[in-house]
Amino acid sequence: MWTLHHFVWLPVVSDARGPSSKWFHQQVVGDAPGPISSLHIRNSSNEVDCALSLLQLAAQSEEQVTQATLSPSVGNGNEDVGLEVQECSRPSEPHLSFEEVKSFEDFCILLDRVDTGRELTTDVRVGYYKLCLYKKEFLHPEDVYNKLVVGLIRKTVEIGDEIKRCKLTTSKEEFENWNKNLKALETLGMKVRFLRDKLITLARLVLDSESAADVKQYTEATNECKQIEDELKKLAAKRNKLKESAKKIKEVSGALEQKVERYELRFKEVVNGPW
């Protein structure tokens, strides 16, 4: 008797002959009959559910493949890399150790002798290169279907960029969502523990009881001040509108003033005249 919980079929590159498949699941009770190769994921159901959601990135990658843009420089704020973006010069090698990567020009994401990096945009490739350079190793699993790796790398770079843009006003929900997604990426083989460590450090600084209270009070005061300023702008606009209306009415009044004075003069002549 055996049971599988939270399982999914995932294409995995097992050897040079082509893709095979494995069952990724959370828990196994008993032994599964037949030659099923399994990877145990000892995480909560929420983490596994999130991991399964990230698997959809593989399908998106197959349908919406974007070739890296060839340009004389990386651009878009990545000038510090300072190298051209071009295809991998060593596609015949089955694997490439990061120790062999001396510059961005050498940076190839080889899976089963295929340069998967060509399916990533320039910005994503540069972002992933910087993450790998920091850890001095490739962060993606080598035995996973290349289309899935493309999606995992994109998601990793996306989360890394979001973490870099976080502020003291970043909410607890945002930190929890990033952590959940990073756990899911870990479940699928990405080496992103250092991003989670960074995230935890930032979350502690932001969500610390004393600093959190000060930030909350500051945010509330800032929002209230903005509301007052917006209201003052509305009142100023209304005042200007009323002044324009008063000006027009005064012009009309000035044009009629002399006529009214003549009418009043005639009226008084009649009033003061003999009976």
The string of pLDDT tens digits covering residues 59-85 is: 455 455 444 433 444 444 444 444 444
H helices present in the chain, as ranges: 45-63, 122-135, 146-164, 172-187, 193-207, 209-272
Residues 56 and 123 placed together within one structural domain of the fold: no
Is position 113 within any domain? Answer: yes
- Residue 39, pLDDT > 50, answer no
Task: Give yes or no for a contact between 57 and 148, defined as CB atoms under 8 angstroms apart.
Answer: yes
Residues 103 and 46 placed together within one structural domain of the fold: no
Provide the pLDDT for residue 55.
60
Radius of gyration of the chain (CA): 34
Q: Is the dihedral of CA 216, 221, 224, 229 positive or negative?
A: negative
Is position 254 within any domain? Answer: no
Residues 116 and 24 placed together within one structural domain of the fold: no
Q: Using alpha carbons, list the distances in angstroms from residue 223 to 205, 216, 227, 230, 232.
A: 22, 10, 6, 10, 14
Is position 186 within any domain? Answer: yes
Dihedrals phi, psi of 215, to nearest 5 degrees: -65, -40
Provide the pLDDT for residue 81.
45
Type of residue numbered 273 = G
pLDDT digits (tens, 9 = 90+) for 217-275: 888 899 999 999 999 999 999 999 999 999 999 888 888 888 888 888 888 888 888 88
d(C-alpha 151, C-alpha 70), whole Å? 21
| pLDDT band at residue 146 under the 50/70/90 scheme | confident
pTM: 0.54
Tell me the sheet residues that pair with 19. 13
Residues 56 and 107 placed together within one structural domain of the fold: no
d(C-alpha 199, C-alpha 266), whole Å? 89
| pLDDT band at residue 51 under the 50/70/90 scheme | low
Give the helix/strand (H/E) hosting 25: strand 18-25
Residues 192 and 106 placed together within one structural domain of the fold: yes
Is position 234 within any domain? Answer: no
Is position 253 within any domain? Answer: no
Domain of residue 15 covers 3-63
| pLDDT band at residue 23 under the 50/70/90 scheme | very low
Tally of domains within the chain: 2
Q: Which of 209, 228, 252 is the last residue of a domain?
A: 209
Is position 237 within any domain? Answer: no
d(C-alpha 152, C-alpha 189), whole Å? 9
Sequence-distant (6+) residues with CB within 8 A of 117 are 68, 88, 107, 108, 109, 125
Q: What's the CA angle centered on 249, arms 246 and 251, to 5 degrees?
A: 110
Tokens standing for 268? 């008084």
Residues 59 and 102 placed together within one structural domain of the fold: no
Residues 170 and 111 placed together within one structural domain of the fold: yes
CA 197 to chain centre: 19
Residues 110 and 195 placed together within one structural domain of the fold: yes
Is position 268 within any domain? Answer: no
Residues 102 and 204 placed together within one structural domain of the fold: yes
**Taking residues 92-108, what's their average pLDDT?**
61
d(C-alpha 17, C-alpha 270), whole Å? 119
Is position 193 within any domain? Answer: yes
Residues 46 and 121 placed together within one structural domain of the fold: no
Mean pLDDT value across the chain: 72
Residues 54 and 131 placed together within one structural domain of the fold: no
* Residue 166 falls in which region: left (phi positive, over 0), alpha (psi -120 to 50) or beta: beta
Task: Give yes or no for a contact between 116 and 150, defined as CB atoms under 8 angstroms apart.
Answer: yes
Provide the pLDDT for residue 101.
65
- Residue 31, pLDDT > 50, answer no
Residues 184 and 118 placed together within one structural domain of the fold: yes
- Residue 121, pLDDT > 60, answer yes
